[in-house]
Amino acid sequence: MENKLPSNVVNFAAGHQSTLDLIKMFTDYWNHSTKKEGHYDVNFSLAEKEEKLNAALKKEIIWRANVPYAVDQPVETWFFNRNIASEAFAVVGMLIDVILPESIIETIGIYSDIRVIGWGDSASFDVEPRDLFTVSKAGHAQKTSEVKKQFRGQVTVVPEMREITVGVSLYRVLSGKESLAAFVAKAVRSMETQLTVDVYNLFATTMSNLDSTATTGLQVSGYTEDSLIRLCEQVGAWNMGAKPIVMGTSIALLNVLPDDANYRYTLDDKYTVLGYIPTIAGYDVMRLPQVAKIGTPFDRVLDDTKLWIVSPGSQKLIKVVLEGSALSNTTQNFENSDLTQTSTLWKSYGYAVCTNSVAGLIAL
């Protein structure tokens, strides 16, 4: 498991088994809370896991704060210890760094390449020319043809800082009145949602600007089976044979059906079970999970009127860069007149369109 962790998390754990066990417990808890089937222990309920995880978090924080007497002592003996407050959110930041890269792969990974870099770094991505060399007809006595030369492009992605500030009571957390496990999970979900929205908006805007010229354009208005297959073949051919897939929301994929109205399906058919057909004309169909539009109650982010055709095996359309580890800062109780505490979590990331790949869009 350690080999799969980001380098900053590996350095934070430094081989300590208790930290690695905590990471394993939180990963299982996260997978369970997000219903990631087949990736969590089904022998314990989510509530049982949360209780055990909170105990492990408290033990890890106190150990890192080097306050061994706190384990068996009343809360009031260590509540104002600044080391405990600092280490509490250092552990929170570490767990965010464990989950965030993997969780966003499930939402934007099909069209995004995700890279983790160190603090102060930027990421440069090479873009190879898509065009092939022109083959010229030649004579038997002709030594050379016109010289062909192509040049590689490069795009640099510079991350920008994002932050979340929340009111939190360290006293209630470490005394068991509030769940630190649930707090961390919500922090991860908040970061994941915002990053997903940012990258998706760039992806959707870029795709909406595709050429819509008849027969040669990469954007088609209105679904037909013929237009879908033509666009899939077009995208695959120009991606040098990399097989495309059709992707969209559950509502959008309801439209991906054969033009022949004589087909039938049963109650246990894949279309009934999944809500869409998983393959059409040899091309795979993939559902994109819908995302909540934070700030607009009950609205959604992903467009239900679009189908996108991309080739995951070619260069991804969007490049995403996560910079360094998550940072945190927690105020002390007596810094505020109402004796409240605030904690601010920072995460730096950037994204840009950077590809030589071709993609298609069907506007339903």
Q: Per-residue pLDDT for 223 more than 70?
A: yes
Query: What are the tens digits of pLDDT across the range 88-116?
Result: 888 999 999 999 998 898 899 999 999 99
Q: How far is 115 from 138, CA to CA, in rounded Å? A: 46
Share above pLDDT 90 across residues of the chain, in percent, rounded to a whole number:
59
pLDDT digits (tens, 9 = 90+) for 191-207: 999 999 999 999 999 99
pLDDT confidence bin for 317, thresholds 50/70/90: very high
Q: Of 46-50, 145-149, 306-310, which gets the smallest average pLDDT?
A: 145-149
On the question of pLDDT at 338 being above 70, the answer is no
Predicted confidence (pLDDT) per residue in 153-195, tens digit: 999 999 999 999 888 777 777 777 888 888 889 999 999 999 9
pLDDT for res 1: 44
Instruction: Look at residue 34 and tell me whether its pLDDT is greater than 80.
Output: yes
Q: Can you tell me the mean pLDDT for 344-355?
A: 94
The reported pLDDT for the residue numbered 4 is 75
Q: What is the pLDDT of residue 136?
A: 87
Average pLDDT score over residue span 139-158: 89
Percent of the chain with pLDDT over 70: 94
* pLDDT score, position 339: 64
pLDDT surpassing 50 at residue 2? no
Question: Quick one: pLDDT at residue 76?
Answer: 63
User: pLDDT category, 241, cuts 50, 70, 90?
Assistant: very high
The answer, yes or no, to whether residue 74 has pLDDT greater than 70, is: no
Choose from 54-63, 67-76, 260-269 the range with maximum mean pLDDT.
54-63
Domains of the chain, residue spans: 2-124+154-201+319-353, 210-315+357-363
pLDDT of 259:
87
Assess whether pLDDT exceeds 70 at residue 324: yes
Query: What average pLDDT does this structure show over 343-360?
Result: 94
pLDDT band at 293 (very low <50, low <70, confident <90, very high): very high
Confidence of residue 321 (pLDDT cuts 50, 70, 90): very high
pLDDT at 57 over 70: yes
pLDDT for the residue 62:
86
In the prediction, which pLDDT does 72 show? Answer: 67
Query: 248-275 pLDDT, tens per residue?
Result: 999 999 999 988 877 788 888 888 889 9
Average pLDDT, the chain: 89
What pLDDT, on the 0 to 100 scale, is given for residue 191? Answer: 92
pLDDT at 190: 92
